[in-house]
Amino acid sequence: MREELDRSVDELRGMLVDMSERADGMLGKAVSALAEGDRVRAEEVIYADRAVDQRYVELQHGVLTTVALQAPVGRDLRLLTAFLHAALHLERMADHAVSVARGAIRLLELPRDEGVVELIVEMGSSAREVGRTSLQALLALDEDLARSVAVADDRVDRLELRIFEELFGSAGTDPDRLPWAAQIIGLSRRIERYADHGVDIAEQAVFAVTGINAELMGNDPT
């Protein structure tokens, strides 16, 4: 019985890793498509979302089957519940990556601000760090690592604010940049939401370890 449960958990863990790697790669590719004006790369991200959706369905079915057949309790049940919630957040993260990719296509013909593009690239990298660290914390059942994610998310929030400030300044003096600026504000919001879902996964890691539904908030003063 224990061996069967452990085997099922290992399979589900592998599915989560696969979903995480796919979502992470999608956001990275979407941001690079935006930075380089690459329509083909952006379209690859949009197409890749199907595999993430399918994996989510498989993981959801696997968790429910494991609960029904193995009747886990205590930490095992909390872990499976955390897996289910984490999978949903990963599916949403992939959706946000698709939104960035679609935005990259819309921006192809618009005049751009290279300084803001650099900030978007940095923000995307920071958001991906949040996502990767969160899943690592869940899989390792590392509460301290999970709690550190909130500080990493603060960096994403600060970058979003900097982007808004830069756009406000440039678009205010050049009305031709307004359409581009409006699109970028929306895309930076999508990247910020990607990171927020990562924090939610970290909260699931804390729950799996402690049984406490914690709300992780950073306090990085820089």
Query: By C-alpha distance, which of 96, 92, 84 is closest to 204?
Result: 84
Is-contact 9 80, C-beta < 8 A? yes
Answer whether residue 18 shows pLDDT above 90: yes
Cα→Cα distances 189→47, 156, 184, 210, Å:
22, 10, 8, 31
Distance CA 176, CA 76 (A): 56
Q: Hey, what are 24's tokens?
A: 């992470």
Residues 196-202, mean pLDDT to the nearest whole number: 97
Q: Hey, what are 35's tokens?
A: 């930075």
Distance CA 222, CA 214 (A): 24
pLDDT in tens, 35-70: 999 999 999 999 999 999 999 999 999 999 999 998
CATH number of 2-210: 1.20.58.220
- The structural domains of the chain, with segments of one domain joined by +, span 2-210
pLDDT (0 to 100) of residue 192: 97
If phi over 0 gives left and psi between -120 and 50 gives alpha, with beta otherwise, what is residue 37? left
Overall pTM > 0.75: yes
Higher pLDDT among residues 176 and 164, named by residue:
164
Average pLDDT, the chain: 92
Answer whether residue 220 shows pLDDT above 60: no
Distance CA 128, CA 149 (A): 11
Distance CA 178, CA 167 (A): 8
Distance CA 47, CA 221 (A): 40
The contacts of residue 98 (CB under 8 Å, 6+ apart) are 26, 30, 45, 46, 49
Cα→Cα distances 124→6, 16, 54, 163, Å:
35, 21, 25, 12
Q: For residue 170, name the pLDDT band (cuts at 50, 70, 90).
A: low
Q: Hey, what are 14's tokens?
A: 């592998």
